[in-house]
Amino acid sequence: MFAKLKEQELYQDLNPRLILIGIVSSMGAMGFGFDNGWWGSALGLSQFQRKYGSYNEASGKWFMSAQKTSVGTGTGSAGIILGCILAPFVARFLGRKKSFLIMSCLITVGVVLEVTALTSFWQLVVGRIIVYSGIGLASNVVPLYQSECAPPRVRGAYLALYSFFTSFGSFLSTLTVWLSHSRSDQWQYRVVILCQLFIPFVYVSAYAFIPESPRYLVYQGRLDEAELVMNSLYNHTETIHEEVQLLRLQVEEQQELHKATSLLDCIRGTNLRRTICAMGVQTLQQAQGVSFIQNFIVVFMQQLGFADSLRTNVLVTGCGFAVHCVTFITFDKIGRRQAMMIGALGLATMMLAVGGVTAKGVGNLSNSAQNGCAAMLVLWYCIYGITWGPGPWVVAAEIGTGQLRERTIFLASMASFVTSVPINFVNPYVQKAINGSVTFIYGGWSVFAIFFIWFVLPETKGRSLEELDEMFQAKLKTREFSKYVSMGLGARITKLQAGVEDEEKIGKIDVTHEDKV
C-alpha cells in the first residue's frame, strides 16, 4: 500500500511547505464561508430577529422583513464586487503576498463594525460590506496565488483548497450558531462574528513564511528570487534553473506574439474564448442555487415546517464540507470537464425533485415529505461540494493567459458575484411568493449548465499554465483538448515540473540563445 501511495502524484509533487502555504492562503476563502454561514443562520435566530426585526402582533412573534433580509444579504455581494474591482490593481502592483495584508485589514475593520452594531442594523450592513470587500479581494488573489504556485499535475487538488475552506468556514459558523442558539443575551451570534478575526491573525502570523508567487516574480523580471522560491516549494529541484529560463522565454514569446495588457484584451482573439469559459462557470455556479442554500436554507426549512431548522442547516453544511475531501483526488484524476458535467446533472435532479415535492405548497407536508426534501438538499450540497464548489475556481484560476490572469479572474469572480446580487435581493420575495417552487428556477439553470460544459468548456487537467496558452492559440475544438500533444515551451515546462526530462535533454537549454524556440 505504501508503494502505491508513493506512486501517486499528490505524494510525489506535494511537500509540507506547499501544503502550509496552500492552507494559509486559503484563510480568505474560509472567511467567505464563515460570514455566509453565520448570516444565513442568524436570520433564523429569535434573538437576532428581536434585535433587528419587527414584531408581528397577529402571530406574537418577531421576524425579519423581506426588505431587511434582502438588503443585508445583497449588500454583502456589493462589497464583494468592490473587492473584485480592487483585486487586479492590488495583485499586480503590490504583488500576491502583500494582497493578503490588505485583505486582513478590510476583514478586521468590517468585523469590528459588525460586532459593535448593538442596535443599528445599518452599521451591521456597512460592516458586512467592508468584510465582503476583503472577501472579494480574496476570491481573486487566493486562486491566482495558488494556481501560480502549484505543480500542474496536482493543481486541481491545490485549487480545491479554496472551496474546501469556504465550505469549512460555512460549517464551522453554522455549527457555532446552533450550539449557542439557546443563549438569550446579545452575544449569541457576536461571538461567532468575532471568530473571523482568526483569519487576519493567521495571515499576519504566517506572513514571513509565505513566499511571493514564483510566476509573479518571473513576470516582474525577478528571476533569481523566482528560482529561490521554486527551490523551496518544489520536490524536483534539479531542473529549477532551466524551468525559470523557460518561463522567461515563454513570457517574452507571449509579449512578442500575443501581447495583451488590458481588460479589452480579455475579449479579443483567442482570449475571448478563455474569458467566456471562466465567466460562464462562475455565473452558473451561482445560478444553480448556492446562494439560496447558503443564505436562505434556514428560512426555507422553517417554511417546510422543521422545528429545528438550525440543526438541519448544520447537517447540510457539515455533509457538504465532509465530501470536499474527495475533490483533492477527483479533479486531477477524472478532470474538470467530466466532474462538472456529472455535478450539473446531480444538482438538477435534486433541485427539480424538491420543487416537485413542494410545488403544491409547504404548509401541509407530511413528515416523510419534509425529511425527503431535507435529504435532497443535503445531497445537493454534497454533489456541489465535490463538483461545482471547487470547479469554477479551478477553471477560472488556470484558464487565463499569464499576461491577463489577474484580469480573467477578476471578470470571472465579478460574473459570479454580480449573478449573486439579484439572487440575494430577489430570492426573499420570490421564496415568500412561490415557496418551494423556487427550486425549479435553480434546477433549470443546472440543466443549462450541462449543455454549457459539453459544448464550451475544454479539459485542462495535467497541463502547465503555459501549455494551455499554446492550446488556446491553436484554436482547438472543445473535445480535442484532452488528446492534444503539445510540442512548445509549455510542454517542456510541464515535463520539467513533473521531474521528467525528454530525449532532447530539455533541462540543458542554452539560456543565452536568442531563438526562443
DSSP type of residue 340: H
* Cell numbers linked to 103: 485583505
- Which of 343, 381, 374 lies closest to 358 in space, CA to CA? 374
Is 341 within a domain? yes
pLDDT in tens, 48-100: 777 777 777 776 777 777 677 777 777 777 788 889 889 988 998 899 999 99
In a domain, residue 499? The reply is no
pLDDT digits (tens, 9 = 90+) for 263-273: 888 898 889 99
Q: What is the pLDDT of residue 307?
A: 67
Q: Contact 214/231 with Cβ under 8 angstroms?
A: no
Tell me, yes or no, whether 9 lies in a domain: no
Mean pLDDT, range 376-393, rounded to an integer = 89
- Indicate which CATH number applies to the domain containing 98: 1.20.1250.20
Q: Kind and range of the H or E element at 224?
A: helix 223-233
**Whole-angstrom distance, CA of residue 437 vs CA of residue 141:** 37
- Does a structural domain hold residue 220? no
Q: Are 11 and 149 in contact (CB under 8 A)?
A: no
| N-to-C CA span, the chain | 43
Average of pLDDT values for 445-474?
A: 90
User: Per residue in 101-144, pLDDT tens?
Assistant: 999 999 999 989 888 887 788 888 888 899 989 988 998 899 89
Domain count, the chain: 1
Instruction: Please name which of 476, 471, 479, 474 lies closest in space to residue 337, comparing C-alpha atoms.
Output: 479
Q: What is the pTM of this model?
A: 0.76
The per-residue pLDDT for 509 is 41
* Cβ–Cβ < 8 Å for 465, 402: yes
pLDDT at 458 over 70: yes
10 vs 170, more confident: 170
286 pLDDT above the threshold of 80: yes
Would the pLDDT of 329 be above 60? yes
Q: Quick check: is 480 in a domain?
A: no
Residues with Cβ within 8 Å of 220's Cβ and at least 6 positions away in sequence, in order, are: none
Position with higher pLDDT, 501 vs 206: 206
Lowest mean pLDDT segment, chosen from 8-12, 334-338, 444-448: 8-12
Report if residue 249 sits inside a domain: no
Domain that includes residue 348, residue range: 17-210+258-462
What the block records as the C-alpha cell of 483 is: 488528446
Say which range, 209-223, 375-389, 452-466, 484-498, has the weakest mean pLDDT.
484-498
Q: Does 219 map to a domain?
A: no
**Element (H or E) spanning 125, and its range?**
helix 121-149
Instruction: Report in angstroms the alpha-carbon separations of 296 from 257, 309, 334.
Output: 49, 11, 32
CA angle 69, 75, 79 (to 5 degrees): 150
pLDDT in tens, 475-498: 999 988 888 887 777 777 777 766
Asked if the structure places residue 307 within a domain, the reply is yes
Residue 187, pLDDT > 90, answer: no
- Which of 373, 363, 263, 224 has its CA nearest to residue 312? 373
At residue 514 the predicted structure's pLDDT band, cuts being 50, 70 and 90, is very low
Question: Which of these ranges, 117-131, 212-226, 289-303, 465-479, has the smallest mean pLDDT?
Answer: 289-303
Q: What is the mean pLDDT of residues 187-210?
A: 83
- Residue 253 pLDDT grade (very low, low, confident, very high; cuts 50, 70, 90): confident
